[in-house]
Amino acid sequence: MPVVLEVKDLTKIFSLGSLFSRLRIKAVDQISFTVKPAEIFTLAGESGCGKTTTARMILGFEPPTSGEIRYQNRKIEEFQDKKAWFKEVQAVFQNPFETFNPLRKVECYFFETIHNYQLDKEGRKASVLIEEKLQQVGLSLSEIAGKYPGELSGGQLQRASIARSLLTNPFLLVADEPVSMVDASLRMSIVNLFRKLRDSLEVSVIYITHDLATAYYVSDRIGIMFRGNIVETGSVEEVLGKPKHPYTQLLLESIPKPDPQERYKTSITFLEEKEEYLRSGCKFAGRCPEVQEICKQKAPEDISVNGVVVKCHKYIK
């Protein structure tokens, strides 16, 4: 099966502290996943689980400590420069108000993208190309022409940001929390846009979020990250419908459902877990309701259960 992006044993280690007491934190710990053509793959997890670091490594903003990132079977290092990589892989960021420089007109970024990638070579004018992409996200050039980011709404800016990323006709978009800063009444329109891009333009999206409800709505497959590991990967229906890993179960249970009939029934004990990153063995062992002796000693291996890959001793026979 062809894959757009393959990530293999990707690891990022940050060193903290002084010269003498170095603390090495594995922000991302040997994660592997693939993204297929025209597929939305979600990386979900809480803050500090390493999902943004993963995105930054895929975009080449952060060098990995070890591991491989391959785009259509070519390693990221094989691309001649960053520009060649960004022609194929583009990104949408979290805060639409920060995506564009508040002191510059939004349209500048569009014309610069066209100019820098020489996209207007085939006799098509830059403004025509820009208009085409803006139409795809439900905007038009006249709406953003001459305007500064402060004059547009968050929803418009996020659409513009997506339109700009589409200019180079990339096959992969990395979207880091693209709707968390967008107004609630506009959120679904942005999320729907990603579905539309996948269906009509066959763009693959790595959708990074902490919001499992939109993740379920938008994506095909999902990876749940916890403390630098992907603990569970599979189709969203399987992973979020029948969660296997105890951490996924806890996450799902904790989402406040927008329905007054479904309030939290049980109460949880909230533990302070600062040292989870440094834990040997399963990193969730300190909070896991089903913890066994082996969890504290040995990190679990990936195991496949009904098409879902889980990192848990519970399923290892």
Partner 1 sequence: MGILKDLFKDYRFTIGFIILCLLVFLAIASFFSPYDPIEWLQVARDKPPSWPHILGTNSKGQDVFWEATFAIRNSFIIALIAGLLSRVVAILVGFTSGYKGGLTDRILMGISDGLLVIPLFLILVMVTMLLREAMTLVNTGLLLAFFGWAWDARTIRSQVLSLREREFTQTSILAGNKTLPLVTKEYLPFTMPLIFSTLINNIGWAIGMEIVLAILGLVRLEIPTLGTMLQWAISYQAMLLGHWWWILTPLILTILLLVALYWLSVSVSEYLDPRMRIQRIGAK
Partner 2 sequence: MNEVLKAENLQVFYVLETLGEKRIAKAVHGVNLQIPGNEVYGIAGESGCGKTTLLKVLFANIEPPLRAFEGRVYYCVNDKYIDAFSLSAREKRELRWTYISYIPQGSMSAFNPVKKLKVTFLDFLESHVRGKDREELLSLTNHHLKTLGLSPRILDAYPHQLSGGMRQRVAIALSTLLKPRIILADEPTTALDVVAQRAVLQLMQDVQKELQNTIVLVTHDMGIHANIATRMAIMYAGKIMEEGSTEDIFNHPLHPYTQYLIHSLPKIGDKTPRESAPGSPPSLVEPPPGCLFHPRCPQAFPLCSQEVPELVRVNIDHKVACFLRGNNRASCS
Tokens of 9: 């044993």
In the complex, least distance from residue 71 CB atom to partner 1, rounded to whole angstroms: 15
142 binds partner 2 (CB under 8 A): no
Q: Per-residue x/- mask for partner 2, residues 145 to 164, rule CB under 8 A?
A: --------xxxx--------
Decide which of partner 2, partner 1, none touches 187; Cβ closer than 5 to 8 Å per partner kind.
partner 2
Query: For residue 32, which phi and psi values (nearest 5 degrees)?
Result: -135, 135
Q: Per-residue x/- mask for partner 1, residues 97 to 126, rule CB under 8 A?
A: -xxxxxxx---xx--xx-xxx---------
Stretch of residues binding partner 2 (CB under 8 A), selected from 13-21, 25-33, 212-220, 309-317: 212-220
As a 3-state breakdown, the chain gives helix, strand, coil percent values, each rounded to 5, of 40, 25, 40
Alpha helices per DSSP H over the chain: 51-58, 82-88, 96-99, 106-116, 126-136, 141-144, 154-166, 184-196, 212-218, 236-241, 246-254, 293-297
In the complex, least distance from residue 100 CB atom to partner 1, rounded to whole angstroms: 6
Q: Name the region of 17 (left: φ>0; alpha: ψ -120 to 50; beta: rest).
A: left
Decide which of partner 1, partner 2, none touches 47; Cβ closer than 5 to 8 Å per partner kind.
partner 2
In the complex, least distance from residue 80 CB atom to partner 1, rounded to whole angstroms: 14
Interface with partner 1 (CB under 8 A), residue from 150, 253, 264, 307: 150
Tokens of 156: 């418009």
Residue of 90, 46, 33 whose CA lies nearest to 208 = 46
Rounded CA gap, 279 and 307, in Å?
28
Helix axes 154-166, 106-116, angle to 10 degrees: 10
SS3 at position 52: helix
148 binds partner 1 (CB under 8 A): yes
Decide which of partner 2, partner 1, none touches 104; Cβ closer than 5 to 8 Å per partner kind.
partner 1
Residues interacting with partner 2, by CB under 8 A?
46-47, 153-156, 181, 183-189, 191-192, 195, 210, 212-214, 216-217, 240-241, 250-252, 254-260, 262-264, 267-268, 270, 272-274
Residues interacting with partner 1, by CB under 8 A?
59, 61, 82-83, 86, 90-91, 93-95, 98-104, 108-109, 112-113, 115-117, 148, 150-151, 161, 164-165
